[in-house]
Every structure is written in C-alpha cells, then in structure tokens.
Structure 1
C-alpha cells in the first residue's frame, strides 16, 4: 500500500492536494500537485531549518524570465499543518541528469543516436544557465551532475536551486554543500559554513562539467600520478594537478590510457581549460560562463564529420580522436543505426579502380652508380708511400754490394745514416697528417650518407610497399561480405555472453552502494573507462590508481552479486544494438579500405615521380661525395 501524501499548506495558508510521488532522494521526495498542473512539491523528509526556510521564502522575489526559463526556481515555501517549513513549490521539469549524457554507456541508453555535436550544444546551454544565475547575483555553489537536467533537444534546466547562495535586501543566504570532485582547489577540505561562495568558484565547477561532457566522462584531474603515493581526484584538485594540461609533466601527472589529448577541442577552448585549471586563477580570472558560451558556440561551428564513422564528429583541426579509442578499447562512444546489409552494398567500382592501379608504371630498380665501390679501392698508392716502404731494402742491398767490394765498416754507418736521413726526409708533417685523416673521415661519412639516401630514395622500395598495401586492401574489401556474415554468426554463438554483458551494463557504478567507494573513487573508475558492472574485470581495475587488493575485491564481489541475478533467455535473440555495432564496424572498414584504394593510382604516380626526381637530384650529390672521398684518400696516402 502506497504512503499517503503529506498535508501541506503554502505561504498563504492554503492547503495543497498532493498526488503521487514522481521522484525521491535521500533528503526529499517530489510530488505532483493535482490542483496546479506543471507544478510539483518538493517535500523534505524532515522539517528544514529557519535559515533555509528564509532563503526559500525570498527566492520568488528574485525570479526573472531568464531564471524561469533555465532553472526550476522556487515558487513558494510550504509548511506542514503545525506550521513547520517542510518544502517548496517548483516548476515541473523533465530530462536526464548530466551524467547520463557524459557517460558513453548511459548515453547509449538515455540519449541514443546523439553525437559529439549534441554534447557541445548541451554543455553550451549549461554555461548559459550558469551565466543567467550569476547575472541575477546568485551563486550555484553545489555544482554537480545531479543539479543539471538535459532534455532530448539538448536544452537544460538547473534544479535544486534552494541550495544556491542568494542575496536579497543586503542579506546573504549561503550554500552549505558541495561535491568534492567539482569543488575548486581553494575550497578543498574546508567546511562550507561561513564561506562566501563566488562566481569564480562556480566557474571551476562549470569547467569540470564541460570537460566531463566533451571528454566522455573523463575527469580532468584523474590520471596516473608519477610520484610516490596515491593521488585521489580531490587531492589532485587541491594540488592543481591537471592531468591533461600543458604542465602535466611538471605536476607529475599522465592522463589515463585511451583518452584523447586536450587539443581535440580546438585552440580557443583548450586555452579556456588551461586558464580554468591554473593555479594563477584561484584568486580570480577563471573563464566566466559567458566566456564558455562564446568558446563552445565557436567549437560547434568548427566540428566536422569523421570520414570513416558517420557517428563521429570532431574539431576540424584534428583527425578523429574517437576512432582510435574505439579500436583500442572495443567500446562504442557514439552509437549509430545501420540497416541490414547497407554497410557493404554500394556502387564502388573495384575492378575499374584496380585496372588503374595496375596501369601505374613501375619506376624500375635504382641505376648502378659510378664509383659504387669503396673509394679507397680505386686509389693507387702514391710513389712517396711506396718508396718509403722499399727504402730499407734498397739501402740494405747497397750495403751488401759495398761490403763485397771491400768498402768496409765505414760504409755500414753511412748506410744506417742514409736510411735515417731519408726516413726523416720522407716522414709526413704530423699536423698535416691529422688534418688529412679528419678530411678522410668526414668524406667517408658524407659518402655513406649519400649511398644510403640513394638506396632509399632512388630505389623502388616505397613504390613496392604501397603496391603491397593496396593488394592487401583489395583482398580485405573483397572478403568483407564473408567477414560480416561470420561476425553476425559469432553474435549468435556468443548470445549468452552478450546477454550477460548487456545485463551487467544496466548496473552503473555511479548509482551503486559499495563499501568504501564514494563519489571520488567512482569518478576515478569512470575516468579509466570503468562505468558499469560489465567493466569490472581483474585486469582493468588493477590499472586504476588508488585501488589496491581490498578495493578490487569489493568491486569484484559487487559484480559477482549482480551477476548472480542474471538469467539467460535463449529465445530472446541477438540484441539489435549488437547487430548495429557489427554493421557500423563493417561500414567503417569498408570506407577505410575504399578510401585507401581510391588514393592508390595518384599515390603510385606521385611516388614514381618522386623516385625519378630523387635519382636526378641525388646523382650529382653522390658523384661529388665519391670524388671528395677519392681525393681525401689520395691526400692521406700521399702523406704516407
């Protein structure tokens, strides 16, 4: 039996008839108001204190068109029959909280078919809502996923506005709560009571929200710490360790694996992130909400569609960052619908294209170059060097002749002196010899470099390599229909595992109650690609910083408890989303292979021209290098 709605009255003492509960949390429940369509009552489980009641009471007088359009702004204070304040009237709003759009797996279920453009537009609207609140002299304070609802058309509403910091008639009504993973460094670890929140504090939280949205749920301060000890997100924020920033090495942080670089958002938005997360901005100067609106509006205009995967959109200044991530992880960041065999049907003329590829003229082998052998082998020894080697023998022969002719011992000493004198006369100058040796060494290096360049640039290797790649691409394209059928059959064979994975994906870690794993640890897991029970595997959680054996065991135990609830249904058939992924993969491969083959004729023609030009260009250089090497060798030999 459902619980009877509480009896409440508005600020004028009029009773309100509440309908059914449409939402419930740890602090309050939300009821329909049957007498006022479009209005709901947020009733706290316990009476609220006088300060909060006073804030809610004055908030309707602050309302304006902007706040009414972009927030669920309080309309009135509600009390129970005893006169105790227990809640407030607010406009009824619809949408999913921001986490469902940031997280790829939640996005596939809650926002199917959306792409990166939708994320850019949604977070631009979030920035507009922040700007409207700030223009009204208010501060959000408790920035977090749950405070933002996003509709299917990317419009947004800020909710839980009764926690905002507001000013009225010179009195400040504070915000006493906050989520650490969205809290700026200067407020980390501090009690919020007595703290005057500022727009600059909000601007940090807005930058976090924007980063999470554009980077698929990855937190900017979640990464691998290269120093000693653990680095939870809250500590990384406090110590200003932006894992994706240009200073990441100096703060000893590396971004998680399978994450894109900061540059994917374009230069302007990249600089906004750098400013928002800089130590210098703690006292002021973070990009304002209006700055983000301007930067993100420009970003949306600068995105283009990926040439391989039609569901991927990215900044025009970069290649697609999503394709390599999906290829590396096997995950699907942005879903796309493909009908039947559309992925392999088309009018691509492979036979005609291949004839053009085969018609490309081969450059032939590199011509044999003159002087291709070692320069040293082609240089004859000079007379001085040869004579020096023969000198002792000639003098010895002369001495023997003199001995037999009876010239005696004095001739012996004369011969010895002659050898020494002639040796001294023919000995090279040491400085000249050293200089000649250095010239020979340098000439040899130049010659070796010229030969290597000739072999690599004047030879046909690059042409042959591209031709081999094109042959492989042709075979792969021809086999795609069979590959598609095999993959679809594999889905049928793996039906039980796929059903289990789909079941486990329904259990998000963000919503789970796991002992010792709070918001910060959950955000760290998500930043390393672990979103649901299906992602919890021993190898994957071992790679997450701060998760030792105890935490790993708790995660694995939670997954096991979820898995025990699974029941396989053999009659259910293959999930259409799994089939769509196969079709999308086949389509992406087909486009890649076709694009490679289409470039083939022009690429081969260009390579042939480059090779022939290299032969003309390098010929003179090779000849000069050879001549210099020969001359250097001659000089060295002439010096003995």
Structure 2
C-alpha cells in the first residue's frame, strides 16, 4: 500500500491491492478515495503542466443528466511524500466493456452479450456525440483506438486514457501534444511522421473516427482488409492507408471477399460519409466529415432501421430493403446477431420482446436553451388567465359587479389554481 497526497485537497490517498492495468506510460490502481489513480513510470515538467491545464479546463459532461461519465478526465494531481507529481486521480468507468467486445461477433458470443445492429448504430452515434463535445472544447484525441473506448449495456460510451490527448492552453495557446498513435487508425498524412513533433487538429481525428464507425457498423471488419489483387505481396494496412486504398476506393487493388459485409447495407448518408472520408479526404483531409456531420448521418440511419419479421435480433436499413443478416445466416451458416425466430405471421414492425438491451440515445452536444423558473411562472400565469377570464367576467356580471370586480375574481381564481397545482415544471 503506497501513500500519496491529493494535489487539490491534500487528502491522503492509498493505492489498494494490485494494479488493475499497465501501459507503457504507467499503471492504474484503485484507491481508498473511490477514484482510480494513474501512476506514471516517470514524470516530467511538460506532463505535469499538461495535467494542470486539463484539470483546470475540463470539457462539459454532455451526459450528466444520465448519470454517466463520458470521459475519464483527470480530477487532481497526485504527489509523493517529497511533493513531486507522480500521477493523477480520475473517475472509474464501471460496468462497461471495451469497444472490440461490442463489435466483434466472436467476443460478443464468448461474453454472452445480446447486442444487435441497432445497438451498434446507437453506440456509434453516442461515441460521435462525445467526440464532437471534445472537439468543441478544442481537444484533439489523437490516439483513438478500440482499447480506449468503453461501452455499457445502454450503448453509452466512455473514453479513457484522456491524458494522451493533445491539449491547448486556453490562455497562452501553448500546445501539449499527443505523443502516441495506433497503427490502422492513423491518417495517411501522418504515417511515417514523428507524431510527438506534430500539432494535430480535429481533422486528423476525423479519419480515426471514421475507421471506428466502420468497425462498429460492419461488425469488426476493417475497410483496409480484403483480397489483394496487386502484383506484389499484400501490403500492411498502414501502407494501404498511406496509398489511399480501401475496399471501395476508385480502381482499388483491394477487393471484398465472400465474408465481407456489403457496403450497401448501411444507409446512403453513411455511405456518403465514408466516401468523403476515405476518397475525397485522402486528397484533401478537410473534406472528411466532422464529428457533427457523422452525428447527423448516424441519427438518420438509426431512425430508419427496421426490425426483421423473422428474427427478433435482426435490424436492417430501410434503404437496403431486406434483412441482410437473415441472408448471411442462410448462406454462411453463421448468425452474428443470433436471436429468437418469430412466428411467420408476425409483422416485421412488431416491437421486439426479446431480452436484448435497449440502448439510450444521447443528445448532440449543442448548447441547450433551458426554460427558467421565471419563464415557467409567466407561461403558467398567462395561460391560466386566458382560460379563466371569460368565467370571471361572467361571474362578476351575474353578481352585479363591474369589470374591476371581474379582474379581482380572476386574480383569486389564478391564485387558487397556483396553490392547487403547485409550481410549474
């Protein structure tokens, strides 16, 4: 048990048990504080300054109304007995799986996760929503990969390893770079470059996000893996990316194979986004769809999914016109979204009664216009007055009173309604 000091509260922090995770940068521990601690193998001034900027300027949590943690953001530095910063505290993301466990059929099966194609659409939508929120806060994720994305049973996503982000100080503009990059998720213009010496932008994140969305919607398949038709040996995925090739690039030497899920099954808006990212974006990275543009396309696609009339865990796009998963199951004898067969007479539009988890769709990270309490009272008063005014005037005339009497009667009636129904929501 190691004793540390919380930089923001001066509380004593104990590391409990054994490390729960290890990486090239440090180890993750549980603590007596309820948060996780990341302890670096070695620290330096640059890393400490970056942490201090992140702690002082966290992004707004877009899903606080759902009691959900979208980012494992540093909460406080951790110091040793000598006062040196050795790591930081961050919230623990509980009850979630790595993204690969969600989109990979074999891993879903081994973990007995009941997930359908709609769940994967909503997961993509929710992930895109929180990445849009980070970009709005001028953070660049840099190392976007499945291991850094967690998903719970409501399709709510969380991003970990946030201290690897590229951070810009909001006052002096100093940039603390992302020092790492993952193969297969690095855009062509950065391949072979010294990542640690490059100031990245959210345009670079756009490529990484598109690859993740592709893996989600195509059950783990990569847009850069297929049958190589070139004369030379099949290049590594990074070399394929560097050359601007993917399964559906013009004149691509990479072709789909029998088990490749056809591109046409996804909604046309999704198809257009992929073309913009991998074709147009190869020549001009700024043409890649932003996180917000992906969010709109995914919302359209999710809303047009149809429940299969034969199997309760099959959803398909209305634009495709039929259940691809049933066809795939018949042809390949493997159902990657297994469920219960429906009676033949049952309609395709009947709500599923299976135990599959119903995902929660989060709202896009826009600035909400909240109705204030004073607005609510004003609306309540005006509506109630308009409704009761005729009755109050009639009552005053019958009683032989004047218009003023009617207004007094109206005021009393509104007050009684207010007392009876309480404060408006």
Q: TM-score range by the shorter chain?
A: 0.7 to 0.9
Unaligned runs of 5+ in 1: 349-640
The answer as to whether partners of 2:103 and 2:216 remain within 8 angstroms in 1 is yes
Partner of 1:207, secondary structure, is: helix
- In structure 2, what is the equivalent of residue 635 of structure 1? none
1:56 equivalenced with 2:51 (yes/no): yes
1:236 equivalenced with 2:233 (yes/no): no
| CA distance in 2: counterparts of 1:159 and 1:93, whole angstroms | 8
More helix by share: 1
- In structure 1, what is the equivalent of residue 39 of structure 2? 43
Aligned-pair CA distance for 1:347: 8.8
- In structure 1, what is the equivalent of residue 103 of structure 2? 102
Residues 1:335 and 1:234: Cα distance change in structure 2 (over 3 Å)? same
- In structure 2, what is the equivalent of residue 178 of structure 1? 181
Aligned-pair CA distance for 1:198: 0.9
- In structure 2, what is the equivalent of residue 142 of structure 1? 143
More displaced 10-residue stretch of structure 1: 269-278 or 325-334: 325-334
- In structure 1, what is the equivalent of residue 367 of structure 2? none
More displaced 10-residue stretch of structure 1: 207-216 or 259-268: 259-268
The answer as to whether partners of 1:207 and 1:276 remain within 8 angstroms in 2 is yes
| CA distance in 1: counterparts of 2:43 and 2:331, whole angstroms | 51
The answer as to whether partners of 2:326 and 2:335 remain within 8 angstroms in 1 is no
Residues 1:77 and 1:111: Cα distance change in structure 2 (over 3 Å)? farther
1:146-165 alignment to 2 at 5 Å?
146-165=147-166
| CA distance in 2: counterparts of 1:346 and 1:298, whole angstroms | 29
The answer as to whether partners of 1:226 and 1:253 remain within 8 angstroms in 2 is yes
The answer as to whether partners of 1:62 and 1:136 remain within 8 angstroms in 2 is no
| CA distance in 1: counterparts of 2:243 and 2:222, whole angstroms | 15
- In structure 1, what is the equivalent of residue 286 of structure 2? 284
The answer as to whether partners of 2:6 and 2:76 remain within 8 angstroms in 1 is yes
Aligned-pair CA distance for 1:152: 0.5
1:302 counterpart (288, 298, 304): 304
Unaligned runs of 5+ in 2: 347-425
2:315 counterpart (308, 313, 323): 313
Q: With structure 1 as the length reference, what TM-score do the two structures score? A: 0.50
1:8 equivalenced with 2:34 (yes/no): no
- In structure 1, what is the equivalent of residue 21 of structure 2? 24
Partner of 2:184, secondary structure, is: helix
Aligned-pair CA distance for 1:346: 8.7
| CA distance in 1: counterparts of 2:71 and 2:21, whole angstroms | 19
Aligned-pair CA distance for 1:66: 2.4
The answer as to whether partners of 2:123 and 2:156 remain within 8 angstroms in 1 is yes
Aligned-pair CA distance for 1:335: 2.4
Aligned-pair CA distance for 1:199: 0.4
| CA distance in 2: counterparts of 1:22 and 1:315, whole angstroms | 44
| CA distance in 2: counterparts of 1:22 and 1:109, whole angstroms | 25
| CA distance in 2: counterparts of 1:347 and 1:128, whole angstroms | 39
The answer as to whether partners of 2:310 and 2:344 remain within 8 angstroms in 1 is no
Q: With structure 2 as the length reference, what TM-score do the two structures score? A: 0.74
Residues 1:122 and 1:283: Cα distance change in structure 2 (over 3 Å)? closer
Runs of 4+ in structure 1 off by over 4 angstroms are 345-348
The answer as to whether partners of 1:18 and 1:31 remain within 8 angstroms in 2 is yes
| CA distance in 2: counterparts of 1:268 and 1:346, whole angstroms | 32
Q: Which has the larger radius of gyration?
A: 1
1:322 equivalenced with 2:320 (yes/no): no
| CA distance in 2: counterparts of 1:270 and 1:209, whole angstroms | 14
